[in-house]
Amino acid sequence: MKFGIDRLVTEEQLRKPLDGRRVALVAHPASVTAGLTHSLDALIDRGVNVTSAFGPQHGLKGDKQDNMVETGDEVDPHYGIPVFSLYGEVRRPTAQMMDSADVFLFDLQDLGCRIYTFVTTLLYLLEEAAKAGKSVWVLDRPNPAGGPVEGTLLEPGQESFVGAAPMAMRHGLTMGEMARWFVAHFKLDVDLQVIEMQGWSPGRAPGYGWPESRIWINPSPNAASLNMARAYAGTVMLEGTTLSEGRGTTRPLEVLFGAPDVDAKAVLAEMHRLAPVWMRGSALRECWFEPTFHKHAGALCNGLMIHAEGEFYDHHAFRPWRLQALAFKAIRALYCDYPIWRDFPYEYELDRLAIDVINGGSVLREWVDDSEAVPDDLDRVASADEAAWRESIAAHLAYN
């Protein structure tokens, strides 16, 4: 199979419209060809006139570890072109940045989750390109979580840098498909081109979302494996809690929780009691870890590791958003006064609880905290939203 970047660098007719035009590249460390050449090098080697580059959250080099750790602008030491940060003084390209090129190539590997900020960066780029009369080409890459859709829709008025639009948490789209949805939903007058992949089958074994022929490269520092990418639409919610998501260990965002004062075995048993059907599609294993930094640094934590991989993975049964919600519900049932929700600035949102920013509303938090609420209550809300989202995106699916 071929990713968008591989087609662009090997198919001369696709590159022809770039002749005589100034080109910018939006990229990160996972922006590589099948031969592991970085897209910036590959494009310049093919004679593309790259006049600027852009780095999203975590930077073009992917060296910034945590949320709200910013990157500055710089000059590429090899090519001498400006490298603009879209996660520093600004998160939306400025007019000066847009003046640096005529065509903007977007080549970011995504995780298939609304909260992953590369989705919002794509929307901001499309909006600014529409204003400036610039072209945007999305060099499409796989959604490693595949095509399944899950989670509630972001509510009106809850938009943020981790919630660009009324999308489901696990959106089921590639960035090329998402770009087309953005253009249609926001009625953007922009020259959008999508260089589609060839041979990608998101719903088929053995790789489902991720082709076995391609190695995994971290698109951000804590996106260290395919297992993490599959679980992320659930485990990212831990960022809005006092529970550890495994930052400061070698397996971040692959645990349902970790804490020094929570009994993982008891939580697992309660999850089985509450909603065993929500636990299908992966294996959960009790684990212990001691984060070297971040939450509970230096403390021994008990938790549950998710294995959405190998023989334990059922692509069509796995529902990470419900699985994570169930873990919260079990903890609340066992420890009624446990301070689950973390109150701190999250992605520049100062006035809302982080868990509500992440979920695009308060529905999940209120369900967890309501002792009378049962799994079917949340399922009804989520199922209706999921159906609405599937209908909204149906016309933009390119690979099903």
User: What is the pLDDT at residue 207?
Assistant: 85
The pLDDT assigned to 69 comes to 66
pLDDT 10s digits, 337-394: 999 999 998 988 888 999 999 999 999 999 999 999 999 999 999 999 999 999 999 9
Of 190, 212, 234, the residue at which a domain comes to its end is 212
Question: Are 205 and 233 within one domain?
Answer: no
Give yes or no: residues 128 and 10 share one domain. yes
64 pLDDT tier (thresholds 50, 70, 90): low
Q: Inform me whether the pLDDT recorded for 65 exceeds 70.
A: no
* pLDDT digit string, tens, across residues 230-278: 999 999 999 999 999 999 999 999 999 999 999 999 999 999 999 999 9
In a domain, 381, yes or no: no
Are residues 303 and 199 part of one domain? Answer: no
Q: What is the mean pLDDT of residues 163-185?
A: 98
Per-residue pLDDT tens digits for 134-151: 999 999 999 999 999 999
- Residue 221 in any domain: the answer is no
**Considering the domain boundaries, does residue 378 fall inside one?**
no
Give long-range contacts, CB 8 A cutoff, 24+ apart: 281-285. 281/308, 281/313, 281/314, 281/315, 281/316, 281/317, 281/318, 281/319, 282/231, 282/306, 282/307, 282/308, 282/309, 282/312, 282/313, 282/314, 282/318, 282/320, 282/323, 283/307, 283/312, 284/256
Same structural domain, 159 and 97: yes
Q: In the predicted model, is pLDDT for residue 60 greater than 90?
A: no
53 and 121, same domain (yes or no): yes
Domain that holds residue 193: 4-212
Is the same domain home to 45 and 179? yes
What are the tens digits of pLDDT across the range 314-323?
999 999 999 9
CATH number of the domain that 254 lies in?
3.90.1150.140
Boundary residue ending a domain (160, 178, 212): 212
- Asked if residue 399 belongs to a domain, the reply is no
pLDDT at 58: 83
Residues 199 and 233 in one domain: no
pLDDT of residue 29: 95
Q: Are residues 153 and 32 in the same domain?
A: yes
* Predicted confidence band of residue 63 (pLDDT cuts 50, 70, 90): low
Residue of 15 and 72 predicted with greater confidence: 15
| Choice among 18-22, 61-65, 140-144, 211-215 with the minimum mean pLDDT | 61-65
Tell me, what DSSP letter sits at residue 181?
Answer: H
- Please compute the mean of the pLDDT values over residues 310-336 and round it to a whole number: 97
Task: Give the burial string for 36-53 (b: 16+ CB within 10 Å, else e).
Answer: eebbbebbbeeebebbbb
Please provide the average confidence, as pLDDT, over all residues in the chain. Answer: 95
130, 266: one domain: no
CB contact burial 326-344 (16+ within 10 A = b; e otherwise):
bbbbbbbbebeebebbbee
Rounded CA separation 326/202 (Å): 26
Strand pairing report for 82-85 and 50-55? parallel
pLDDT in tens, 188-225: 999 999 999 999 988 888 889 999 999 999 999 999 99
Last residue of a domain, one of 177, 212, 247: 212
Pairing type for strands 283-289 and 301-307 reads antiparallel
Residue 400: inside a domain: no
pLDDT at residue 62 tops 70: no
In a domain, 374, yes or no: no
Q: Are residues 193 and 270 in the same domain?
A: no
When pLDDT is averaged across residues 171-190 and rounded to a whole number, the result is 98
Domain harbouring 116, CATH code: 3.40.50.12170
Would 217 be classed as within a structural domain? no
Tell me the pLDDT band of 59, cut-offs 50, 70 and 90.
confident
Q: Give me the pLDDT at residue 143, please.
A: 97
Do 203 and 237 belong together in one domain?
no
Q: Which helix (H) or strand (E) holds 332?
A: helix 320-334
**Rounded to whole angstroms, how far apart are CA atoms 302 and 313?**
23
Q: How confident is the model at residue 66 (pLDDT cuts 50, 70, 90)?
A: low
Domain total for the chain? Answer: 2
Q: What is the pLDDT of residue 61?
A: 74
Quote the pLDDT of residue 241: 98
Is the pTM higher than 0.85?
A: yes
State the pLDDT at residue 10.
97
Examine the domain organization and report whether 27 and 136 are in the same domain. Answer: yes
Q: What is the pLDDT of residues 95-134, one digit of tens each?
A: 999 999 999 999 999 999 999 999 999 999 999 999 999 9
Supply the pLDDT for residue 177: 98
Q: What is the mean pLDDT of residues 181-192?
A: 98
